[in-house]
Every structure is written in C-alpha cells, then in structure tokens.
Amino acid sequence: EILLTQSPGTLSLSPGERATLSCRASQSVSINNLAWYQQKPGQAPRLLVYGASSRATGLPDRFSGSGSGTDFTLTISRLEPEDFAVYYCQHYDSSSRYTFGQGTKLEIK
C-alpha cells in the first residue's frame, strides 16, 4: 500500500505570499494518478489539479502542480484570502485503492 505524507501539517502565511505544499509518496507513482483538492469548512472537497500538473476547469492560474516519482508539489503563487483552507493530495494504485494524504492546513498568519 502506497502512503502519502503531506508537509507541513500547518502552513501560516499572509495574503500575497507564495505557498508551497508537499506530498511525498512511499513509492514511485504514476503522475496520471496524483491529484490535489481544496476543502473549506463545511464544504465538499474541490478538485484543483489532476495528473499531477493539469489544472481543473476554471482554476485560477496562481495554482500549479508539479512533481514526479515520489515527490509532488502544489504551489499557490500569490495567496488570496479565499485560498486559506485544507489541501489534500490523493493517489490511486494498481490494487484499485485510493489514498489521501493527511492534509495541509493553510492558515492566515
């Protein structure tokens, strides 16, 4: 079973700053199987990035995904007030198992 470890657990930044969120897999994974989501309190998750680097429809271009192998990154170039939320990475493995990371909480400093 492939485990996903996200870091940091909490990231405290100010609007306008750059956010870099990390997702590390316990084994090398296919980029087609790596996605990122944003979740705000009381809301369902929202797809941000799929295939490690493809932005979901309508997603502002300040969001970008990158990485390969075991290390993946979600970058928000200039934080807007609405970007403060919890972010999850997600993977699928050949055992037909879907796995989520434990999440990174992005909070206002």
| Cis, bond preceding 8 (omega within 30 deg of 0) | yes
User: How many residues of this chain interact with another protein, rule: CB under 8 A?
Assistant: 27
Supply the minimum distance, in Å, between the C-beta of residue 14 and another protein: 26
User: Dihedral angle at the C-alpha atoms of 66, 7, 103, 43, nearest 10 degrees?
Assistant: -70
Tokens representing 86 are 């919890």
57 touching another protein, by CB under 8 A: yes
| Closest CB to another protein among residues 64, 100 | 100
Contact 99, 49 (CB under 8 A): no
Pairwise CA distance, residues 99 & 37, whole Å: 13
Residues 6-45, mask of contacts with another protein (x by CB under 8 A): --------------------------xxxx-x-x----xx
| Interface with another protein (CB under 8 A) | 32-35, 37, 39, 44-47, 50-51, 54, 56-57, 88, 90-92, 96-103
